[in-house]
């Protein structure tokens, strides 16, 4: 009897976690409305995921003046934090770097009292213009994507967050008549959105069967 009660309570708690868990996606594209791949990903995730907030930095802060208090409050209320961005010069776009520098502050994300993000799931989702084979020691870009994303992994580590496997999409550049077709990029972005949805759901406690 006690085993049954315990199992029932555990099921209820897991269901509650699944229902109430909040995901926040930090959209780091400087001009989100002109994006093809990132816009496709965001639209699909927003349509299919419950309790998700999208923070489009390019639209919120065109002057790059980040509202640190507001952004920190959003993170405090989140269980899963996703950075969604195009891969610019082997890094994040300038506005996302400004956001990280401002929001992941001393005694908030790190430092003696900086445990406010401890245990929160941290997912990197990035769109890359080049093909996967270009990101290899013998390839055009010399390094693997996992290596180039180490600074973000270390950021999560310092903030005591749960760094999840990055979600990476290649061949996302669209230049009419030069690189890819619009349909190809949309299809790739849709598949990346599906992988991102799976990653988010895996990061949220699942109900006990």
Catalytic site positions = 129, 135, 142
Write out the DSSP string of 48-106. H-SSEEEEEHHHH-TT----HHHHHHHHHT-SEEEEEEE-BTTB--HHHHHHHHHHS-B
Q: What are phi and psi of 22, to 5 degrees?
A: -105, 135
Tell me the C-alpha to C-alpha distance, in Å, between residue 37 and each of 41, 99, 148, 205: 6, 21, 20, 29
90: left (phi over 0), alpha (psi -120 to 50) or beta: left
């Amino acid at each position: 009897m006690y085993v049954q009660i315990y199992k029932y309570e555990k099921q209820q708690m897991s269901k509650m976690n699944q229902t109430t868990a909040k995901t926040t996606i930090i959209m780091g594209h400087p001009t989100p409305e002109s994006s093809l791949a990132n816009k496709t990903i965001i639209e699909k995730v927003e349509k299919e995921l419950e309790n998700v907030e999208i923070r489009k930095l390019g639209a919120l802060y065109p002057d790059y003046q980040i509202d640190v208090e507001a952004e920190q409050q959003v993170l405090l209320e989140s269980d899963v934090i996703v950075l969604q961005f195009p891969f610019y010069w082997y890094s994040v776009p300038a506005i996302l770097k400004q956001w990280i520098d401002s929001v992941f502050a001393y005694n908030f994300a790190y430092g003696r009292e900086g445990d406010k993000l401890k245990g929160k799931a941290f997912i990197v989702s990035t769109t890359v213009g080049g093909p996967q084979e270009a990101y290899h020691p013998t390839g055009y870009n010399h390094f693997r994507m996992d290596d180039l994303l180490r600074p973000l992994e270390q950021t999560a580590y310092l903030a005591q967050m749960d760094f999840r496997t990055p979600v990476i999409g290649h061949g996302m550049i669209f230049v009419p008549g030069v690189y890819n077709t619009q349909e190809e990029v949309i299809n790739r972005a849709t598949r990346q959105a599906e992988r991102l949805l799976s990653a988010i759901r895996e990061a949220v406690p699942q109900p006990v069967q």
